[in-house]
Amino acid sequence: MAPTALICDTQPWKDLKAHVEEIKKTHLRELLTDTERCKQMLLEFDGITLDYSRQQATLGTLNKLQKLAEAAHLKDKIERMFKGEHINSTENRSVLHVALRAPRDAVVKSDGKNVVPDVWKVLDQIKDFSDKVRNGSWVGATGKPLTNVISVGIGGSFLGPLFVHTALQTDPEASKQAKGRQLRFLANVDPIDVARNITGLNPETTLVVVVSKTFTTAETMLNARTLRTWISKELGPSAVAKHMVAVSTNLMLVEKFGIDPKNAFAFWDWVGGRYSVCSAVGVMPLSLQYGFSVVEKFLNGAWSVDNHFSSAPFEKNLPVLLGLLSVWNVSFLGYPARAILPYSQALEKFAPHIQQVSMESNGKGVSIDGVPLPLETGEIDFGEPGTNGQHSFYQLIHQGRVIPCDFIGVIKSQQPVYLEGEIVNNHDELMSNFFAQPDALAYGKTHEQLLKENVPDHLIPHKTFTGNRPSISLLLSSLDAYKIGQLLAIYEHRVAVQGFIWGINSFDQWGVELGKSLATQVRKQLHASRTKKAPVQGFNSSTTTLLNKYLQESLDVPATPSTLLPKV
Ligand code: F6P
């Protein structure tokens, strides 16, 4: 295919560049007085309300962004994704995480084949297996029920499942289903993470799920070998068959590792790691903890947004609008970061998950055709739940740098608390902040206001808030499994929209490879130095000095150690 023109060379991009000057003359204080604009910047879909009136944008800006979408062939790119075309061109793969949440009777094709029956075959296997573990008909080697699960995996094989697990933990229906059960996640190769995970657990009642798309990731495989040792040391090597299962696309390596292929749950190369929470990667550990029926609701929620994304007109399409506005903020207004601020402690692991989804997807330096980009793509995502963030980094957001914010609020708390005699209930207290912060950022506080408040002259500059700081507000009717699925899919598709506009491949991740190969060189050196006293060589002087120091000061590490596991 002929290389596509860079988006920054198109007329709509140039028009938006020129439009920035106009927008810079406005202030959110004035933009928010236009009720008609505000009405038009409100969108409702299936229990979700998006208010984007606090974006530094006019209705004219939105028009221009729609033209940009046309120039980027956004509609066509979305369709190609849903049709299973190999849009991940550098890996020659389709991108079909939407098929993971499709109902049984849907048709989603990859390479001409409907993949939905394969998806449901694995979902049925997971349901069957997790039911058996949960009802005690699958027991451990000593006959005890397996009430604890450690999910071993990193990156996409960890962050999505952790986010959903954390969000479900306090949901009344899910927590009832999880009674007497524990789910933990071992991600970091740091032995401290092993110690944290096994502390207080008995291998007799523990099931380990090794989750790795490739089954080659160094961290995950060492952690899996560590837990295999933990189990076999206590219960004998034959216990592994009852206490370890796997989730992977590489079933050959699963078998080689020593896990019975009957206990391996498959997914496919058309599922990117960071988009895999709806595959066995998330469904397996989450079903063990909460039961399949709860997880199915999560999948249904994601599918509701998939349908909306593929069919709603762009002016009423949540992920499309969010994606376009992100491009506007990053590429035109020059705001490279974005804060994700859920006013729900249940969503505390949402920002870490979206960091990977967004930054691994869109942190690219070349176009999909390999042409170096004269524009920066991706955004720097970070976040914390409100109100904790308010007492931490909001100072910078209010008076320092401009960072577009995503405020995410929930109408009905998972866990309401009312106290007699208090002015408001506890959730209303939380939500008072959710409603106040976007206006504080948008309006700020002027010199005149401070004068009226008799603020001493020397403090006026310090107490002034310039305002005009953009945000969106996303209000969810509740936070159950269905809503969590919707939220996930909105952000996944928003990231895809951004990548489609920038003209990059949002579905590969070559940028993580270099660090991995350099670590291999260091690993070899450490082995040679520890076992044969080999001198450190082949590194620059800085790394050589640091490695020598590390080796010198850890001479007590045995060269050929016998197995030692953490004792906490
Ligand atoms: O190093 C990054 C990465 O490749 C991610 O994209 C992926 O989610 C993670 O590693 C884990 O990979 P795997 O599931 O193959 O172990």
The 3-state DSSP class for residue 111 equals coil
Rounded Cα distance, 179 and 130, in Å: 15
Q: Are 481 and 301 in contact (CB under 8 A)?
A: yes
Alpha helices in 25-115 (DSSP H): 28-31, 35-40, 59-71, 74-82
Q: Are 379 and 337 in contact (CB under 8 A)?
A: yes
Going from the Cα of 156 to the center of ligand 1, the distance in angstroms, rounded, reads 6
Q: How many other C-beta atoms lie within 10 A of the C-beta of residue 399?
A: 14
Strand 113-114 relative to strand 109-110: parallel, antiparallel, unpaired? antiparallel
On average, the pLDDT of the chain sits at 97
Active site residue 79: no
Region 333-348: mean pLDDT is: 98
Tell me the two tokens of residue 164.
């959903």
Active site residue 391: yes
Among candidate residues 360, 379, 384, 492, the one labeled active-site is 360
Q: Helices 292-311 and 74-82: crossing angle, nearest 10°?
A: 140
- What values do phi and psi take at 357, rounded to 5? -55, -45
Among candidate residues 516, 524, 527, 549, the one labeled active-site is 516
What confidence tens digit (pLDDT) does each residue in 20-49 have? 999 999 999 999 999 999 999 999 999 999
The three-state DSSP-derived secondary structure of 144-195 is CECCEEEEECCHHHCHHHHHHHHHHCCCHHHHHHCCCCEEEEECCCCHHHHH
Among candidate residues 14, 316, 391, 524, the one labeled active-site is 391
Sign of CA dihedral 315, 320, 324, 329: positive
How large a percentage of the chain has pLDDT more than 70?
99
Going from the Cα of 275 to the center of ligand 1, the distance in angstroms, rounded, reads 11
Rounded Cα distance, 254 and 245, in Å: 9
pLDDT value at residue 568:
78
* Closest of 355, 477, 385, 339 to residue 166, by C-alpha: 385
Looking at this protein, which amino acid is placed at residue 274? R
Rounded Cα distance, 123 and 104, in Å: 10
What confidence tens digit (pLDDT) does each residue in 197-216 have? 999 999 999 999 999 999 99
Rounded Cα distance, 319 and 323, in Å: 6
| Cβ contacts of 466 within 8 Å, gap of 6 or more | 399, 444
- What values do phi and psi take at 239, rounded to 5? -70, -20
pLDDT band at 464 (very low <50, low <70, confident <90, very high): very high
pLDDT value at residue 567:
84
- Closest ligand 1 atom to 219 CA: 16
CA-CA-CA-CA dihedral for 540, 542, 546, 547, to nearest 10 = 0
Rounded Cα distance, 92 and 114, in Å: 18
pLDDT value at residue 3:
66
CA-proximal residue: ligand 1, atom 6 (nearest): 273
| Cβ contacts of 537 within 8 Å, gap of 6 or more | 525, 544
pLDDT band at 2 (very low <50, low <70, confident <90, very high): low
CA distances from 203 to 157, 245, 374 (A): 22, 14, 54
Going from the Cα of 278 to the center of ligand 1, the distance in angstroms, rounded, reads 15
pLDDT band at 1 (very low <50, low <70, confident <90, very high): low
Rounded Cα distance, 448 and 495, in Å: 41
What confidence tens digit (pLDDT) does each residue in 388-409 have? 999 999 999 999 999 999 999 9
Q: Which residue is associated with the tokens 């406005």?
A: 26
Going from the Cα of 203 to the center of ligand 1, the distance in angstroms, rounded, reads 27
pLDDT value at residue 438:
98
Output the ligand 1 site: residues, CB below 6 A: 154-157, 212-214, 217, 220, 273-274, 360, 509, 512
What confidence tens digit (pLDDT) does each residue in 137-185 have? 999 999 999 999 999 999 999 999 999 999 999 999 999 999 999 999 9
What confidence tens digit (pLDDT) does each residue in 90-109 have? 999 999 999 999 999 999 99
CA distances from 483 to 404, 477, 480 (A): 23, 8, 5
Going from the Cα of 271 to the center of ligand 1, the distance in angstroms, rounded, reads 12
Provide the residue count of the chain. Answer: 568
Active site residue 493: no
Region 296-318: mean pLDDT is: 98
Sign of CA dihedral 68, 71, 72, 77: positive
Looking at this protein, which amino acid is placed at residue 160? G
* Closest of 290, 274, 321, 302 to residue 472, by C-alpha: 321
The 3-state DSSP class for residue 473 equals strand
- Closest ligand 1 atom to 274 CA: 8
Looking at this protein, which amino acid is placed at residue 174? A
Q: Are 207 and 245 in contact (CB under 8 A)?
A: yes
pLDDT band at 332 (very low <50, low <70, confident <90, very high): very high
pLDDT value at residue 5:
86
Q: Are 211 and 285 in contact (CB under 8 A)?
A: yes
What confidence tens digit (pLDDT) does each residue in 125-146 have? 999 999 999 999 999 999 999 9
pLDDT band at 324 (very low <50, low <70, confident <90, very high): very high
| Cβ contacts of 394 within 8 Å, gap of 6 or more | 437
CA-CA-CA-CA dihedral for 491, 494, 498, 504, to nearest 10 = 70
Tell me the two tokens of residue 352.
């870490």
Rounded Cα distance, 478 and 342, in Å: 13
Q: Are 163 and 187 in contact (CB under 8 A)?
A: no
pLDDT value at residue 238:
96
Q: Are 475 and 411 in contact (CB under 8 A)?
A: yes
pLDDT value at residue 354:
98
